[in-house]
Structure 1
Amino acid sequence: MKAAFINSYGQFDQIKIGDIDRPEIDDHDVLIKMKAASVNPIDWKMVHGDLKALIKLKFPLVLGSDGAGVIEEVGAGVTEFNVGDEVFFRCDKANIGTFAEYFAIPANLIAKKPTNMSFEEAASIPLVGLTTYQALKEKAGMTEGSRVLIHAGAGGVGSFAIQFAKAFGAHVATTASKKRFVLLAELGADEIIDYQSQHIENELNGFDIVFNTLGDSVQEPSYKTLKKGGVLVNVLGIPEPLVVAQYTSNILVKLISHINQWRKEGLAAKYNAKYKHLLMYADGKQLREIADLIEAGKIRAIIDSTFPLAKVKEAFERSATGRAQGKIIIKISD
């Protein structure tokens, strides 16, 4: 089968398009004929080797972390899905490879594709959807009426997160350049801050939650927007020590994680706030809940651009600019 893969870490020119063996399934797996996948920063960071200290992967490494397609085979122990079902999913971090014509995955990690979305639209959802769900609901405890600041509202995660938060009755502020304001208003943002000319700490206060998708550059200003006891959830940088311990036994990596957590929590305490880090995990049940919101018309896909499988390198280059509005899609088959 055709796939996009690398044989070693490096730059985007390491990406190859070629033939590899079609995967086999176990009793609790399904084999998916891939229709589309999406590009996420974690995908091109894998090419650079940015996560190699935490996640050990084997070469050749097929790229791609989420997608959508049609079930071609089901394992003997699978009862919830059937051949021909249209599904979408986020794969486990230790078993990536959706930029391929076929992908094998445990059935508990998939969900039926929203009926009102194309495969390309559905492929744009899993990683950003699960990241948002786990950050806002599990880590931050968002409820109806919560005041939430979502950084980079026009990005893949941000554009989904605004809609998700509004679906649960939150008041949403977000940041973007002025040329994105119309889109963000359409998505439901209550307040939009122009990060090029405004400072969030001067414009916002009394917020319950900050969803930080940009990292350290906005960390301290974000704390100034929170009320006492507010929560900042970060999805970039070094995970929390308990999470790191699940992936590696390397003492140095663990030590770095502990020091980082101590520093992050210390900064949060300075502002009477709480710091939490999220390393998102795959979950089919949560995806089913997200699919329900989509089918109810509360969330729509925002697509920046679409590339064929042969143009993964170009798609990564587009993503790495940081200028994409919504998600970048890899179309794999009709």
Structure 2
Amino acid sequence: MRAFIVKSYGKSKKLQMTELPEPTVKENEVLVQIYSAGVNLLDSLIKNGDFKLFLPYKPPFVNGHDVAGVVIKVGSKVSKYKCGDEVYSRVGDYRIGTFAEYIAVNEGDLALKPQNLSMDEAASIPLVGLTAWQALVEIGNIKKGQKIFIQAGSGGVGTFAIQLAKHLGAYVATTTSATNADWVKKLGADLVIDYKTEDFETLLKDYDLVLHSNRDTKILDKSFRILKVGGQLISLVGPPTPEFAEEIGLAWYLKLVTKFLSSGAKKKAKKANANFRFLFMRAEGSQLAKITALIEAGVIKPVIDKLFAFEQTNEAMTYVESGRTKGKVVIKVK
């Protein structure tokens, strides 16, 4: 099969197309023929080596986390899926490799593809959908009438999170450029802030939750200051915390590293009488099935910016890295 591999870590390195054997299927896995693969900033961060301390993939390995396709083989202990099923997934850590023609996926990481979506649309959903779900539902426990600030509303996570937050009954503020303001409002945002000309700290006060996705430390400081007492800041960009290290089973010395890295953010949270949480989303087929139900009910719609051919995988990665995407970028594999 054809696949794009990370041959060695590095920001200037490109993925390399190569021929690999078709994956073998373990007893609790299915073999998926990949039709479409979503592209995420995480794919670039993995390639660059930004996560190798916590996710030490050993090059060469196939990159890619989001997939939509058809089951063509099932393991002996698989009970939920059969050959011919149309499925989608954000595959599990250490099982990545969706920039390829086939992938073996753990049964628990899969869900049936929404019937009202194309393969391309379905592939755009899993990582951003699960990120938003785990932030707003699982951790945030968002209730009707609460105020949520979602940074970067026109990005992949932002476009999904706005729709989910509105479904949960929240008042949603977000940032984007002026050219995207009306478009983001149509997704459900109540207040849209032009990050180029306006300061969100002067416009927002007593918010219940901030979904934080900006690496600028000044933005982090401001985000804490707009929270109400007892509010939550859930960060998608770090710093990683000891709680995160515990969740993914890191060694003791890495837990110490995360304690050091997150000490500043934890102090800021304490000063603001707020809670800080780093979210590194996980694969979860059962949650994806709940997202499927919302999509089939018309509550949430996929937002695709651009489609690329499989041969253009590196160009797709570069486009995502530009930070100019409106929604998701998808690669058509088949």
Q: 1:55 aligns to what SS in structure 2?
A: coil
Judging changes above 3 Å, is the alpha-carbon distance between structure 1 residues 31 and 217 closer, same or farther for their aligned structure 2 residues? Answer: farther
Q: Distance in 1 between matches of 2:35 and 2:252?
A: 38
- Name 2:274's counterpart in structure 1: 273
The structural deviation recorded for 1:59 is 2.5
1:318 paired with 2:319, answer yes
Q: 1:272 aligns to what SS in structure 2?
A: coil
What letter is aligned with 2:87?
V
Q: Distance in 2 between matches of 1:297 and 1:42?
A: 28
Q: Distance in 2 between matches of 1:144 and 1:87?
A: 32
Q: Distance in 2 between matches of 1:64 and 1:12?
A: 18
The structural deviation recorded for 1:214 is 1.4
Cα contact 1:74–1:83 (8 A) shared by 2: yes
The structural deviation recorded for 1:58 is 2.5
TM-score by length of 2: 0.96
Q: Distance in 1 between matches of 2:309 and 2:238?
A: 30
Q: What's the C-alpha RMSD, in Å, of the aligned pairs?
A: 1.3
Q: 1:315 aligns to what SS in structure 2?
A: helix
What letter is aligned with 2:83?
V
Q: Distance in 2 between matches of 1:294 and 1:12?
A: 37
1:192 paired with 2:192, answer yes
TM-score by length of 1: 0.96
Q: Which moved more, 1:97-106 or 1:142-151?
A: 142-151
Cα contact 2:9–2:59 (8 A) shared by 1: no
Q: How many residues align?
A: 332
- Name 1:89's counterpart in structure 2: 89
- Name 2:304's counterpart in structure 1: 303
1:249 paired with 2:264, answer no
The structural deviation recorded for 1:213 is 1.3
Q: Which moved more, 1:53-62 or 1:91-100?
A: 53-62
- Name 2:34's counterpart in structure 1: 34
What letter is aligned with 1:331?
K
Cα contact 1:34–1:101 (8 A) shared by 2: yes
What letter is aligned with 1:53?
L
Q: 2:3 aligns to what SS in structure 1?
A: strand
The structural deviation recorded for 1:138 is 1.8
The structural deviation recorded for 1:310 is 1.1
- Name 2:155's counterpart in structure 1: 155
What letter is aligned with 1:329?
V
1:110 paired with 2:89, answer no
What letter is aligned with 1:68?
A
Q: Distance in 2 between matches of 1:14 and 1:183?
A: 33
Cα contact 1:173–1:191 (8 A) shared by 2: yes
Cα contact 2:310–2:331 (8 A) shared by 1: yes
**What do the CA deviations read for 1:69-109 (whole angstroms, capped 9, x no partner)?**
00001111111111111111011111110011000011111
**What do the CA deviations read for 1:171-211 (whole angstroms, capped 9, x no partner)?**
11101110011111110101101111111111111210100
The structural deviation recorded for 1:262 is 2.6
Q: 1:316 aligns to what SS in structure 2?
A: helix
What letter is aligned with 1:285?
S
What letter is aligned with 2:126?
P
The structural deviation recorded for 1:237 is 2.2
Q: Distance in 1 between matches of 2:225 and 2:11?
A: 38
Q: 1:248 aligns to what SS in structure 2?
A: coil
Query: Which structure 2 residue ranges, 5 or more long, are not aligned?
Result: none
Q: Distance in 2 between matches of 1:242 and 1:190?
A: 33
Q: Distance in 1 between matches of 2:244 and 2:155?
A: 26
Judging changes above 3 Å, is the alpha-carbon distance between structure 1 residues 276 and 112 closer, same or farther for their aligned structure 2 residues? Answer: same
What letter is aligned with 1:208?
D
The structural deviation recorded for 1:239 is 2.0
Q: Which moved more, 1:2-11 or 1:162-171?
A: 2-11
Q: 1:14 aligns to what SS in structure 2?
A: coil
Cα contact 2:244–2:278 (8 A) shared by 1: no
Q: Which moved more, 1:301-310 or 1:278-287?
A: 301-310
- Name 2:52's counterpart in structure 1: 52
- Name 2:222's counterpart in structure 1: 221
Q: 1:117 aligns to what SS in structure 2?
A: coil
Residue identity over aligned pairs, in percent, reads 39
The structural deviation recorded for 1:240 is 1.8
The structural deviation recorded for 1:164 is 0.6
Q: Distance in 1 between matches of 2:299 and 2:284?
A: 20
What letter is aligned with 1:248?
L
1:166 paired with 2:166, answer yes
**What do the CA deviations read for 1:19-43 (whole angstroms, capped 9, x no partner)?**
1111011111010000101111110
Query: Which structure 1 residue ranges, 5 or more long, are not aligned?
Result: none
What letter is aligned with 1:221?
K
The structural deviation recorded for 1:247 is 4.6
What letter is aligned with 2:113?
K
